[in-house]
Every structure is written in C-alpha cells, then in structure tokens.
Amino acid sequence: MDKAIEEVLMSPSDQEQPCEATAALLESREILPTIEPIETPPVDLRASELYINRELSHLQFNVRVLEQALDEKQPLLERLMFLLIFSSNLDEFFEIRVADQMRQLKYGREAVGPDAMHPQKVLEKIREICDVNVTRQYKILNDIMLPALEAQGIHFRRRGAWTDAQRAWVEEYFNEKVVPVISPIGLDPSHPFPRLVNKSLNFIVQLEGKDAFGRETGLAIVPAPRSLPRLIRLPDELCEDGDNLIFLSSIIHEFAERLFPGMKVTGCYQFRITRNADLSFDFEEIEDLARTLRGELHSRKFGDAVRLEVDNRTPEELIGFLQEEFKLPAAHVYRVDGPVNLTRLMAVRDLVERNDLRWKPFTPGLPNKLKVEGDLFSVLRRGDQLLLHPFQSFTPVIDLLREAAKDPEVVAIKQTLYRTGVKSDIVNALVEAARNGKEVTVVIELRARFDEESNLQLASRLQEAGCLVVYGVVGYKTHAKMMLIVRREGGKLVRYCHLGTGNYHSGTARLYTDYSYMTADEQVGEDVHKIFQQLTGMGKIQKLQKLYNAPFTLHPKMIELIQNEIRNAKAGKPASIVIKVNGLTEPKLIRTLYEASQAGVQVDLIIRGMCRLRPELPGISDNIRVRSIIGRFLEHTRVYWFENAGKPVVICSSADWMERNMLNRVETGFELFGKHAERIRRDLDYYLKDNCQSWQLHSDGSYTLVQPGEGEERFSAQQALLDELANS
C-alpha cells in the first residue's frame, strides 16, 4: 500500500438510478461470507471464535474498494480508478500476505493467530474470495466501465476495429518502438524458460515450422518491454472523435509473427506472474543495513511465484506448462477476461483530459493565523496549530522547515522520514539547512515497504549535503512522524516541533487524511528531543512528560485508558470510546475492548482496513460498533478518544492498533487539549454520522454499506470536511 487508494465522492443527484448492468451486480454482490455467525459465544475472551482472521479482513478492505466502481454517484474516471486500485492492492496482498502464508507451509513453520485458522485454510478462503471478486472486477470492466467510457468518447480500440490508417500507424510504432527493445525467447535445451520479472507482462506463443537453425520447438516466451507504456494514445488526426487508446498487448498480438520470421504463430496468450516481494533479514547477521538492503532489492523481482494470471482463452495444456515452470498449484492460477495487468491502465489519467469525469478540484484551506510570510516561529509562540490534510494545506509544514533552513538563529534540525520523494520540498529544505551550516540529523526508515530503493537514494543525497543520517534501531521500524527545530531566542535555546499521523510527503498529503500538529510547547519539545536521542544514540528508556511512545509506553497507556472507562462505567459515570485507525489486530487491546463492552462502555471503532475484533456478539461486544470509511481520500488519521468521565482524553498518533505498531515499531502519540481536542471530536462525529461511504462490520465478518434512512439526508464525512475546511 501501502501505495495504494486514492479518493471518493462527488454526488450529482440522489435521484439517479443505476444502469441495468450495475443494478444486476449490486443485487448479486457478496461481501465476503467468510465466517459462520456465532450463536453462543464463549465467555473466554481468548477463544478463537471471537477473532476474525487478519488476512481475510485485509482482503475484505480490497473488496470494499472494488465496490466503489459500482457507485454511479461518483465520476466515471474515478470509478475506473477504484477498479484499478483493487488490482494494485491485490498485487501487494499476494506479494506480501499470500506469500507469507505459502512460505509458512513450505518450510513447515505454520503459525496461527488468535483466530486459530491454519495457513492452508486461510489460502483456501483467499482463493474462494478472490475467485468471486476478480471475476466481478472484469465483469464490471467489460460490461459497465468500457461501455460507459465509450459513451463518453473514450475508446479502447481493439485490433479488429482499427482502420487502415490506424493499422499503418500501429505497424510503424511496432517497428520503431517495440522491435528494437523486445526479446522473443524460443524454448529449447539451450534456451530454457526465462526468469521473468515480478508482475511483468509476458506472452506464451505457439509456433509451427522450423527456424533458421532447423529447430522446431513449438513454444516461445515474449516478455513485453518494461520500458514501453502499456497504453498508447492514437493520434487524433487518425480518429473521428474522442480519445482513442490501444493496448501494447494488442500491438504485440497483432504483429507477433514478425518476431519469428518464416514461422507461423498459431496462438499468442498473455500471462503475468506475481512473486514474493517481501524482504526478510537476519538482523543478528547484518553489519550494514543499507548495504544489505541494496543486495536484497534485486532479489525482490525474482522471489518465489505466488500467483499466475492468464488470458482465459489460453489452452489448458499451456496453462499446465506454465504451472509446472512456476511450481504453482491450480489454486494459484487466475483466468481473466481481459488484460492481465490492469494496474497499468492507470495511465489513462495522463492520456485523457476529461475534468468533467473527475472529481471537482479544490484548494486546501489555510487557517488565518498561518497566512503569514516568513514568521511561523512567532505564530507558534502564540499558540499551537492543528491541521487536517488534505482539506487543509500541508504547505505550513514545509514552510516551517524552509524558514528554519534559512534562519541564522536556527542551530539544529532533526527529522524522521518514512516515505518521501528524493527531490521533495522537505528533502530540499533539509539539504539547504545542512549547506547553511545547521546541524541536521535525519532518521530514515530504509525498510518502508516498496520505498526502500527511493529511501536509499534519499539517504545518499542527504549524506552528500552534510546531514547526519541514521537508520533508526535494528529490528524496530521507525514509523514516528517528528520534526524538531532548535533555535536561539533571547540567550536560550527554544524547540519547535511538528508531529503527525502521516508521512512527510506533499503528494500523499493531497490524497491521505492526516493530522499535523505544530507547537512550541517546552515539554513536548523535550520529549521529542529524548526520542531522537533514543534513535540516534544508546541508553535506558527516558521518562516522557507529554508524549507516549512505542514500543515502551503507548500500548500500556491504551490499556490503562480503556480500563479507566471500564471503572467509570461500573461507577455509573459517563464512559465511551472512539478509536479511528487503519487497522485493529492486537489481541490484548481487543480483549480489553471486549471487557469494556461487557462493562457497558459504548465503543465506536472507525477502522479503515483490517479488524480482528467481532462486534455485535451478545454478551461480548454488543456495545461495540465498527465501521470503515472508503472514499475519495484514503483515511489515514490515527485518533484515540476517551470520555474520561466528562474530561475527554484525546490522542493523535502515528500508530495503528496492531502488533507491529504497538510492539515492534518506534511510534509516537501526542495528547491534544482545549479547542484542538474539541475539533478532533467534531471530526470524529462526522465519520460516525456518515451514511453513504461508511461500511458496517458484523459479527460474521461481513460488511454492509450504510444507507440513509427514510427521510434522512445523505451525509459524507469527507465531503462535509471539504466544504468546511477547503477552498473551492
């Protein structure tokens, strides 16, 4: 992902009726009948029946993304993007989650979670769910999306529909752009089956005849050049109307015989292999993390095969041949009715300029106090600032760092970076600060999944500029989002901080919902300083005054706050909890939430993705409601709200309620007070009120879309925040 979803809703009219094809799919939709309902749950809160399997819950999130493609209240091209994001998410799911289950079986190291589901059973369920929903995805593409795009003048031209002039242009493209870089591989003893790159587009070709050396092999593999786009726009002068696009696969199909002179192509079929892309280390053997990571990155492209996608017209004998080569059982083969690499269709965004089929653009808002030129330090001395991205601008965070880089009174800057671009504004400012003589320390998490190569390049650039670069703590990913600026003021040193729930990346700040907190609070600054000392040096745990940090105090604090609500409920005091995170999987937190529900505490959980907790179980979790918001923006904020007998405790954090975040990562949680705490509660209320982009989780592990009641107006939390905070 983490690269994954981007964006939600702009509703034209509540009176619109879905087209017939959409209506049929809506009526037949099955939202993951993964687990049978429980009639009489046991009292033991550790019992496996009380927990949903993590992998299946993760997969359900992807299905909820797919459902957005059927929402006709959203712009057409955005619906297409959701359809393609489903593919992108599913790729990562197989590369990481399915690969892990297969690895456990391969090496006899089966591990079960609190749900006690064996990896083999998990894989069987994954196959069952993916089989249904991948078929649905291609049906949505072929029966709904492509006809709808065609009606809007966006044409995907098949080979049989090319005019003579278009075919001549395509032939020239093939000769000039494809032939020089393509490498067909005939299969024989001296040309064994090639080692194909993860997620690459390939063709298996059936041949008749003998080649120049008298060989008659019958089969060849043609890897599509990765340097070429998978979607190509035909020149407008060759087309009558609209936007006309063709697939690279269509070009290779049409002229495949040109790659084998004198031979006859009797069949040409697309396929794609997905491989294990997880990186694993023996930390006891690592002497230099950066060097080890560079060595591992290349192997990611050639990990064990975990999935084979093939054109559904491919003959069974060829599918069997590919299975044998990749050592994959039939359960890991997916026959698809269309292009095997749908993710690459996202290029349509750059090839087609149709703003009328996209969400209405907006300008992030900016509080009046931050509309200043070059004096953010004085603003923060007068009071803390809280921003909610993307509804409010990320620019003040960048401006604070830029100002620090130029200010002669600033003596030091410290920053954590998890995902950011090598040439981002944040990095440019850090480079400038180092060149201006500031003491710049950057903690880079090299192992941010799928951003490792970018982070290695980032580390090199910062080091060349004179920054001190460290890679955190071996065995613990540094996921905390912190910036610390030390400035001389009136003969003493003053600290300014930024803490966030998201990454220091201006691109994702336009797509992900995240909070940014900027402060000159002395105790917060001291706490952030101590955490940086832990990351760059060595020593015992240091006591913090206002922050909580994982893997030390954050998890115990959450347990303590839940237990406090339990005591309040039993004493007849107000008691409720609202938690908004990306994932809830940590067993002890779940058990404590069950105990809270049993004590009468009302618990509202807004969990975007994985959730192991089962709500609505009589006597166990009947006071717990779980919902997932899927929309225009990727919900990414982590917020913990506790009633505390009328004196709410409100904490924002970089940490989800998962084992990895609470126990195996460096994370921070920062408490908010006064108007900022009230602002957080208002935002949470919007999400709890949402009745058009909210999915409710049930005890059997299924989700249903929340719909407005009779006479009730549609309410989208994201749209309400856009209307309130952003500029049109």
Which residues are the active-site residues? 479
Phi-psi bin for 299: left (phi > 0), alpha (psi -120 to 50), beta? Answer: alpha
β-pairing, 694-697 vs 703-705, is antiparallel
Q: Could you tell me the two tokens for 716?
A: 């989208």
**Residues 6+ positions from 260 with CB-CB distance below 8 Å:** 184, 186, 205, 207, 211, 220
**Residues 6+ positions from 273 with CB-CB distance below 8 Å:** 196, 198, 199, 200, 202, 305, 307, 308, 309, 326
Cα–Cα distance for residue pair 628/276, rounded to 1 Å: 28
Strand partners, 514: 389
Cα–Cα distance for residue pair 569/577, rounded to 1 Å: 11
Cα–Cα distance for residue pair 317/542, rounded to 1 Å: 64
Please name which of 25, 231, 57 lies closest in space to residue 137, comparing C-alpha atoms. Answer: 25
Helices 674-689 and 717-725 meet at what angle, rounded to 10?
140
Residue in the block written with tokens 């064990």: 304
Instruction: Please say whether the beta carbons of 405 and 436 come within 8 A.
Output: yes
Going through 502-633 in order, the beta strands assigned E by DSSP cover 512-519, 547-550, 576-581, 602-607, 624-629
Cα–Cα distance for residue pair 244/124, rounded to 1 Å: 41
Mapped onto helix, strand or coil, the DSSP state of residue 295 is helix
Please name which of 309, 8, 301 lies closest in space to residue 130, comparing C-alpha atoms. Answer: 309
Cα–Cα distance for residue pair 721/629, rounded to 1 Å: 14
DSSP structure string for 98-145: IHHHHHHHHTT-----TT---HHHHHHHHHHHHHHHHHHHHHHIIIII
Q: Helices in 549-658 by DSSP H: which ranges?
A: 554-570, 587-598
Going through 392-511 in order, the beta strands assigned E by DSSP cover 410-417, 439-444, 468-470, 477-478, 482-489, 492-500
Please name which of 578, 700, 604, 702 lies closest in space to residue 50, comparing C-alpha atoms. Answer: 700
DSSP structure string for 668-716: EEEEE-HHHHHHHHHHHHHHHH--SSEEEE-TTS-EEE----TTPPP--
Our CA dihedral for 638, 510, 482, 427, rounded to 10 degrees, sits at 160
Cα–Cα distance for residue pair 352/685, rounded to 1 Å: 38
Please name which of 640, 635, 609, 638 lies closest in space to residue 717, comparing C-alpha atoms. Answer: 635
Phi, psi of 39 (to 5 degrees): -85, -45
Cα–Cα distance for residue pair 295/470, rounded to 1 Å: 19
DSSP structure string for 172-211: HHIIIIITTT---EE-BTTBPPP-PPTT-EEEEEEEES--
Burial of 408 (0-12, 13-18, 19+ CB in 10 A): exposed
Phi, psi of 608 (to 5 degrees): -65, -45
Burial of 594 (0-12, 13-18, 19+ CB in 10 A): buried
Instruction: Please say whether the beta carbons of 534 and 553 come within 8 A.
Output: no
